[in-house]
Chain A
């Protein structure tokens, strides 16, 4: 399935829904698509909704980390939500869980912004 990124907002939180497969063939589509979204919203609270992301390789994880660092430097925040079990295994294995927070649902991720700022 081709990679897609769709944007929505909910109570000021920017939600980027990722669909399809994210590997080195689609990582540029993610980076460009997410840059377009983040250029529009700047210093905001972002959630990457991974419910429909069927596959992710380390190229995709590296892109998430790069965006986390890039937007973090601007004072923005990124959280992950609705990760599939296969992705969650690698997320913990390589230690990304110690850097980018992940939540079971988009709602939980959005609520966490309310609690933690």
Chain B
């Protein structure tokens, strides 16, 4: 899997500023681990603690899994991920070219019955909306822009 991540890295375009960076990646499940590592590394460098990084890693993964499965319906597509870090605030924007979908206006289904029956599924949006401090949505030029925001806990900045 490490080798796969290296190969995928070559497909990514990277632009870096101080606390703002972005990647464009193929919307492919095999890129998810790389995306998580990239976000985690950027947030660590800015002093975010693992407890603050985890909700973002989960939220971006859930959202990208939804994009791959639903927005692109397993067809080829791209996701652009933009990180804006200003401790204690972290905002990660995920951009896709799928059909318009505003998760902030979506009422997640009651999944308790499905879970009790051992079926699962439909957990992603509920998880994202609960873990993030705020989620923002915009539709710009036929693209969905979802921004996942967390505010670091009061435990303080982790020194490098």
Chain A: residues with CB nearer than 8 A to chain B? 1-3, 20-21, 23-26, 55, 57-59, 61-66, 68-69, 72, 85-86, 89-90, 93-96, 98-99
Quick check: B120 and A58 within 8 Å, CB to CB? yes
Residues of A within 8 A of B61 (CB): 23, 55, 57
Residues of A within 8 A of B30 (CB): 25
Among B2, B50, B119, B124, contact of A58 (Cβ-Cβ < 8 Å)? B124
Quick check: A98 and B32 within 8 Å, CB to CB? no
Q: How far is the CA of A3 from the CA of B62 in the complex (A)?
A: 18
Across the A-B interface, the 9 shortest Cβ-Cβ residue pairs: A69-B118, A62-B120, A2-B1, A25-B29, A58-B123, A65-B120, A86-B54, A24-B29, A65-B118
Quick check: B33 and A21 within 8 Å, CB to CB? yes
Asked if B78 is an interface residue, CB under 8 A from chain A, the answer is no
Chain A residue with the shortest CB-CB distance to B124: A58
11 residue pairs A–B, Cβ–Cβ below 8 Å: A21-B36, A24-B32, A55-B57, A59-B65, A65-B120, A66-B119, A68-B118, A69-B119, A86-B58, A90-B58, A94-B123
Q: How far is the CA of A89 from the CA of B121 in the complex (A)?
A: 17
Chain B interface residue count, Cβ-Cβ cutoff 8 angstroms: 32
Q: Contacts A3-B1, A66-B119, A96-B115 given; 14 further ones with Cβ under 8 A? A: A24-B68, A25-B33, A26-B1, A55-B36, A55-B57, A57-B65, A63-B120, A64-B120, A86-B54, A86-B58, A93-B127, A93-B130, A95-B111, A99-B116
Interface centre among B54, B62, B121, B123, by most chain A C-beta atoms within 10 angstroms, is: B123
Q: How far is the CA of A1 from the CA of B33 in the complex (A)?
A: 8
Residues of A within 8 A of B117 (CB): 69
When A65-B115, A99-B118 are in contact, do A90 and B127 touch as well, CB less than 8 Å? yes
Chain B: residues with CB nearer than 8 A to chain A? 1-2, 29-30, 32-33, 36, 50-51, 54, 57-58, 61-62, 65, 68-69, 111-112, 115-121, 123-124, 126-127, 130-131
Residues of B within 8 A of A62 (CB): 119-121, 123
Q: How far is the CA of A59 from the CA of B116 in the complex (A)?
A: 16
Chain B residues touching A, majority SS: helix
Residues of B within 8 A of A2 (CB): 1-2
Q: How far is the CA of A95 from the CA of B1 in the complex (A)?
A: 31
Residues of B within 8 A of A64 (CB): 120
Quick check: B115 and A57 within 8 Å, CB to CB? no
Residues of A within 8 A of B69 (CB): 24
Quick check: A23 and B123 within 8 Å, CB to CB? no
Quick check: A58 and B115 within 8 Å, CB to CB? no
Quick check: B1 and A94 within 8 Å, CB to CB? no
